[in-house]
Structure 1
Amino acid sequence: MWPILKQTTWLFCAQIFTRIISFFYTIYLARTLGISDFGLFTVAMVYFSLGSSISDFGFNRFFIREVARDSKKMEELLFNVSFLRLMATTGMFLFFAAILYLFDPDRVRTNLILIGVMAVIPQSVGQTLDAVFVALRRLQVSAVSLLIVSLTTATVGFVLVTKGYGPFGAITALLIGQVAYLLVLGLFLEKWHAKIISSIKLSVLKKITLGALPYGILGVMGLLYFRLDTILLSYMRGNYETGIYGAAYRFLEAIVFIPIAYSSALFPVLSKLHDGHIDQVKKLYISSVKLMGILGLLVVLGYILILPWLIRYFLPGYIEALNIVIILSLAIPFMFLHVPAVQVLFSTDKYLKWVIGLSFITLGFNLVANLLFIPVYGLYAAAWITTLSEALSFLVFFIFVKIKILDKT
C-alpha cells in the first residue's frame, strides 16, 4: 500500500497545482467569454476528450500492463503503440471533419471542435511516452509534464483570449499545450536514453490491437458515459444551458484528479498481484475502498460548504450553476468508491468481457435517461442523471467484485 501512496503523492501534488491553475483559468474564461461562447468552448473540449479516448482505445492501458510485467517489452511496444495511435487519430480527425461539415450548420462550433480534435494528435504520442514512466513507476515525470502542459495552456490561453480571439484563442491554447506536453516527455525519454524508434511488425500490431480492444471499448464507453449529457445539451438546448452546465461540471472535473492519480499508481501493482497473489488483491481492494470512501465524503462536504460562495463571488453571471453544482457533488462519493473495483477488473484479462457487458448496462441507462429527460428538463436532468448513473455504476461493479473475487476463498 505504501509504494502506491508514495507514487500517488507525485501525481497528487502535481494535480493540485494543475487544478488550481485550471480553476482560475476556467473562471477567467467563463467571465471573459460569456455564457454562450463558454458553452461553445465546453462542447469543443468534450470532443477533445472523446477524441483522446478514441485515439487511445486501450493501447496505453495494455502497454502499461505488459511493461509492468516485463520491462524488456518496452522498446518494441512503444513504437508500435505510437504508430497505432497516430493512425487512429488521423482517421478520427477526418471522420469528424466530414460528419460535422455535412450535418452541423453551426460553422463556428464545427471549427472549434476540429481544432480541439487536432490537439489530440500531439497528445496521443505524448500519452504513449508518458505510459513508459507510469509502467516503470516513475510518476514524478508524469507529474512534471502535467504541470508544464497546464501552465502552457493557461498562459497562452490568457494571452490569446485577452487579445480578443475568444473561444478560438482558448481552444488554440489547448493545441499548443499538447505540443508542449509531447516535447517535454520526448526530452525526458532522450535524457533517459530510451530507444523510441523501432520496427513496425504486423504480429506486434495485431497483438496490441487484440489486447487493447477490450480496454478501448471500455474507454470510449466511459467517455460517452461522462460526456454524453454535454453533447446532447448542446444540440438539444443550445449554447446557453451548455455554458451553465459546463461551468458546474468543471468543478466536478476539478476533483477527478484524486481517483485518477490513485488509479495510475494502483493499476501496475494490481497487474502483478493478479498472478498468484489474489489474497493481496482482496486486501488492497478493501483498503482502497476505505480510503476512497473517506476522501469522497470529505470532498463532498468541502464542495457543499465552499463552492456556493466561490460561484457567487467569482462567477455572479453563472448563479444558475449553483444548484447544478450541489446536485453533481452528490455523485462524488460514488465516483471515488468506483475506482478500486474498476482497477481490480482492468488489471487482468479474466473479467474484461464481463466489464464490457456491465458497462453497456450503465451506459444504456445514461443514454436513455438523457434522451428522455434533457429535451424537457435540460441541465437539471443532465445533473441528476449523472449522479444516478454514478450510483448505479458503483453498485453494479461492487456486487460483481464481491461475487467474483471477495467471496471466493
Structure 2
Amino acid sequence: MSLGQSLGQKIASNTLISVVGRIASGALGLIAVALISRYLGREGFGEYSIILIFLYIVLAVSDLGLYSILSREISKIENNENKIISSIFGLRILSALLFFVVSFVVLYFLPYSKDIKIGILVASPGFLFLSANQLLMGVFQKHFKTIWPMIGDIIMRGAQLVFVFLFINFKMSLLFFALAISFGALFGFFANMIFARKLVKFSFIFDFNLSKEILKKSWPLAVSSVLTLVYFKMDTFLLSLMKPATDVGIYSAAYKVFEGLLFFPAAFAGLMLPLMSSVANSKQEQFKIFFKRALDFLVIATLPIMVGGFVLSQKIVFLIGGAEFLIASLPLKILMVALFFVFLGNLFGNAVIALDKQKKMVYVYGVGVFISVVFNLIFIPQYSYLATSVVTLVTEIAVNSIMFFIILKEIKYWPLDGRFLKASAASLIMGVLMYFNLDQNIFILVFLGVIVYSVTLFFLKGISKEEIKFIILKQPVSATPLPSVGGNL
C-alpha cells in the first residue's frame, strides 16, 4: 500500500473516530444543555450563556495562535517534538493566566448582574483546563491518536452532566452550574494529560529564546484568532450588552446546536494540517490532491447536515429546550446555512497556514470583524437575535470566500467538480422527504435521511465503491480514485 493511501486511511479512520466520539460527547453536552435550559428557563439560560461567552472570548484571546503553530512545527521532522511541546505548553499556561487576570479587571466594569460576574469567576478554572486540552489536541492529531482526546472529552462531558443532574436534583442556583463546568474540565484535563504523556514525555518549561521565536511565527495567527473571535463570538457578547438575558437565551439555544456541530470540521481540518504542511512547499501537486480530497469529503458530509438541520430546526430546538424555546427555530435555520461555510472555512484556514500564508489571514479576518461589528451594532437594537444570525451568515460567506481565493491563487488549481452538484441534489432529495414527513419522530427522520442521502449520492456517482471501501474497510483504492478536477488556473 502506498504512503498516500496509508496516510489517507489514517485521516479517514481518525476523522471517523472523531465523529463517533463527538456524537457521544455532543449527546452528553446537549443533554446537559437541555437540562439546564429547561431548569433555568430563557432568562436563566441567557445568564448561563453570558458566562460561557465571556470566558470563551478570554480563552480565544489567550491562545496566541499557539495551537496551530504547535500542530505545524511538530509535523516537521527536523524539529525536537518534546522541546517544542514543553515550551509552547509553558507559554500557553503563562498567557492564559495573564489574560484571565486582565479579564477579571474588565469584568468589573461590564453591566452584568452580580450572579453573572460571580459565575464567571467560578467557571474560569474550567476554561484554564480547556485551554490546556485544546493545545494537547495538536499532539494527538500529529500522532493520529484522536481516540484518546475523544475519551477525555467524553469523561469531561459525562462528569459535567453528573454534576448538572445533582445540582438540579438539589434545586441549586445558577452559580452551581458554572461550577459544574470547572469540575468537568478538571476531569477531562487529567485524562488528556495521561494520554498525551504516553506519546511525548513533555514537561512545562519557559525557554525565553524559543518562546520569542514561537511568538514571531504565531503573532499573525494570534491576531487572526482575536479577529476570528470578534466576528464569530462577538455577536452574542454584543447581544448580551444591548438586549435582555431572555434574548441571549433564545439565541444561545440555537447557537448551542450550531456550535455542537463545529467540532467535526475542526477535527478533520486539524488532522489535515500536519499532512498539508509536510508537502505544501516541496510537493505542491501532492498538496493539491490532499486539498481536493479533503474538500470533497467536507462537501459530501456538510450539505446533508445543513439541509437536515434547516428542515428539522423546530424539532431540534423543542428537543433541546422544550416549547419555551420554539422561537429559536428561525435563528437556527439561518445558522444551519452558515454552518456549511464554517465547515469549509476550517479547511481553508488550515490550508492557508500550511502554505505559510497566515499573515494574509489577518486582513481576511479584518474584513470579517468589520462586517460583524458594524452590522451587529446597526441591526441588533431592532432585530435582536435575528440580526446576529443573519450577520453570522453574511460574515462567514465573505471571510471563507476570500480565503478560498487566496488558496486558489497560491496553488493555481480549481478543486471543485461535479461532486458538489451531486451532493447538493442528494441533499435536496433528502430534505424534501423530511419536509413532507415532519409528523414523524425526529430520530426516525434522521435515520431515513441518512439512508436516502447515502443511497442517492451513490446512484448519482457522487461517491464510488472504491472510496467507501477506502474509508470503511481500509482497502486500497486504484491509482486514480478521484474524478478529474477542474484543472490548473
Q: 1:129 to 1:394 in 2, by over 3 A?
A: closer
Aligned partner letter, 2:236 = T
| Counterpart contact for 2:89–2:205, Cα < 8 Å | no
The equivalent residue for 1:143 is 150
The one-letter code sitting in structure 1 at the alignment partner of 2:232 is F
Match status 1:178 vs 2:207: no
Q: Distance in 2 between matches of 1:186 and 1:336?
A: 28
Q: Which structure: greater helix fraction?
A: 1
Give 1:48 deviation, angstroms: 2.3
Correspondence for 2:202: 196
Query: By how many angstroms is 1:55 displaced?
Result: 2.4
Distance 1:143 1:232, change over 3 A: same
Instruction: Give the structure 1 partner of residue 335 of structure 2.
Output: 328
Question: Aligned partner of 1:119: which letter?
Answer: G
Could you tell me how far apart the structure 2 residues matched to 1:67 and 1:384 are? 39
| Displacement after TM superposition at 1:199 (Å) | 4.8
Amino acid at match of 2:277: S
CA 1:404–1:72: 2 relative to 1, 3 Å: closer
1:358 maps to which of 353, 364, 373: 364
Q: Which residue of structure 1 lines up, in the alignment, with residue 48 of structure 2?
A: 41
Corresponding residue pairs, total: 407
AA aligned to 1:311 is: V
Residue equivalent to 1:398: 404
Aligned residue for 1:104, secondary structure, equals coil
Is 1:89 the counterpart of 2:82? The answer is: no
Which residue type is aligned with residue 405 of structure 1?
I
Partner-residue secondary structure (3-state), 2:203: coil
Deviation at 1:228, TM superposition (A): 0.8
**Pairing of 1:9-158 with structure 2 (within 5 A):** 9-70=16-77, 73-104=80-111, 106-158=113-165
CA 33–394 in structure 1, closer or farther in 2 if over 3 Å, else same:
same
In the alignment, is the contact (CA less than 8 A) between 1:134 and 1:142 conserved in 2?
no
Partner residue in 2 for 1:209 = 215
The residue number in structure 1 matching 2:425 is none
Moved over 6 A (4+): none
Residues 10 and 139 in structure 1, CA contact (< 8 A), matched pair in contact too: yes
Report the secondary structure of 2:281's partner residue. coil
CA drift at 1:71: 7.5
CA contact (8 A) 1:60 1:128 kept: yes
- Identity across the alignment (%): 20
Q: CA deviation at 1:215?
A: 1.6
Once the 2 structures are TM-superposed, how far is the Cα of residue 116 of structure 1 from its aligned partner? 3.1
Match of 1:161 in 2: 168
Q: CA deviation at 1:72?
A: 5.3
Which runs of 5 or more structure 2 residues have no equivalent in the other structure?
A: 1-7, 414-487
Aligned to 1:386: 392
* 1:272 equivalent in structure 2: 278
Structure 1, residues 364-407: CA drift from partner, whole Å, max 9, x if none? Answer: 11111111111121111111111111111222112222222234
Matched, 1:339 2:346: yes
Which residue in the other structure is 2:355 paired with?
348
Question: 3-state SS of the aligned residue for 1:330?
Answer: helix
Unaligned segments of structure 1, at least 5 residues: none
Q: Secondary structure at the match of 1:382?
A: helix
Q: Taking structure 1 as reference, are residues 202 and 249 closer, same or farther at Cα in structure 2, changes over 3 Å only?
A: same
TM-score by length of 1: 0.94
Query: Any conservation in 1 of the 2:288–2:411 contact (CA below 8 Å)?
Result: yes
1:367 corresponding residue in structure 2: 373
- Is 1:281 the counterpart of 2:295 in the alignment? no
How many angstroms apart in 2 are the aligned matches of 1:198 and 1:245? 39
Larger radius of gyration between Structure 1 and Structure 2? 2
Which of the pair has the greater relative contact order for Cα pairs under 8 Å at 6+ separation?
1
Q: CA deviation at 1:131?
A: 2.6
Residue identity matched to 1:228: M
Contact 2:51 2:119 in 1 (8 A): yes
2:317 is the alignment partner of 1:294: no
User: Relative to structure 2, which stretch is displaced further, 197-206 or 12-21?
Assistant: 197-206
- CA change 1:139–1:165 in 2 (3 A) is same
The structure-2 alpha-carbon separation of the partners of 1:43 and 1:296, relative to structure 1 and needing over 3 Å to count, comes to same
State the distance in 1 between where 2:67 and 2:74 align.
10
Letter in 2 for 1:208: I
The alpha carbon displacement at 1:193 in A equals 7.1
In structure 2, give the amino acid aligned to 1:124.
S
State the SS of the aligned residue for 2:202. Answer: coil
Give distance in 1, aligned partners of 2:49 and 2:95. 24
CA contact 1:21–1:150 (8 Å) conserved in 2: yes
CA drift of 1:198 comes to: 6.1
Counterpart-to-counterpart distance in 2, 1:392 and 1:102: 33
Does the 8 A contact of 2:14 with 2:144 survive in 1?
yes
Q: Classify the secondary structure of the residue corresponding to 1:69.
A: coil
For 1:271, the aligned partner's letter is S
* Separation of aligned partners in 1, 2:46 and 2:31: 17
CA contact (8 A) 1:104 1:110 kept: no
Q: Is the 8 A contact 1:312 1:319 kept in 2?
A: yes
Matches within 5 A, 1:226-237: 226-237=232-243
- Distance change (3 Å), C-alpha of 1:99 and 1:10: same
Structure 1 distance, partners of 2:149, 2:392, is: 29
**Distance in 2 separating the partners of 1:94 and 1:199:** 21
Cα deviation for residue 157 of structure 1 reads 2.1
CA distance in 1, matches of 2:66, 2:125: 19
Q: Which amino acid aligns with 2:25?
A: T
Cα distance per residue 1:96-115 (max 9 Å; x no partner): 11121134352222122233
After superposing the two structures, state which structure 1 stretch, 81-90 or 379-388, moved more: 81-90
Q: Distance in 2 between matches of 1:153 and 1:320?
A: 27
1:5 aligns with 2:12: yes
Judge which range, 373-382 or 312-321, deviates more.
312-321
Task: Spell out, residue by residue over 1:265-300, the C-alpha distance to the aligned partner (whole angstroms, 9 max, x if none).
Answer: 111111111131111211222222222222221002
1:138-165, Cα deviation, whole Å (9 max, x unpaired): 2222221111111112222221233222
CA distance in 2, matches of 1:219, 1:296: 24
Corresponding residue for 2:230?
224
Q: Would the alpha carbon gap of residues 198 and 262 (structure 1) be closer, same or farther in structure 2, given more than 3 Å must change?
A: closer
Report the equivalent of 2:247.
Answer: 241
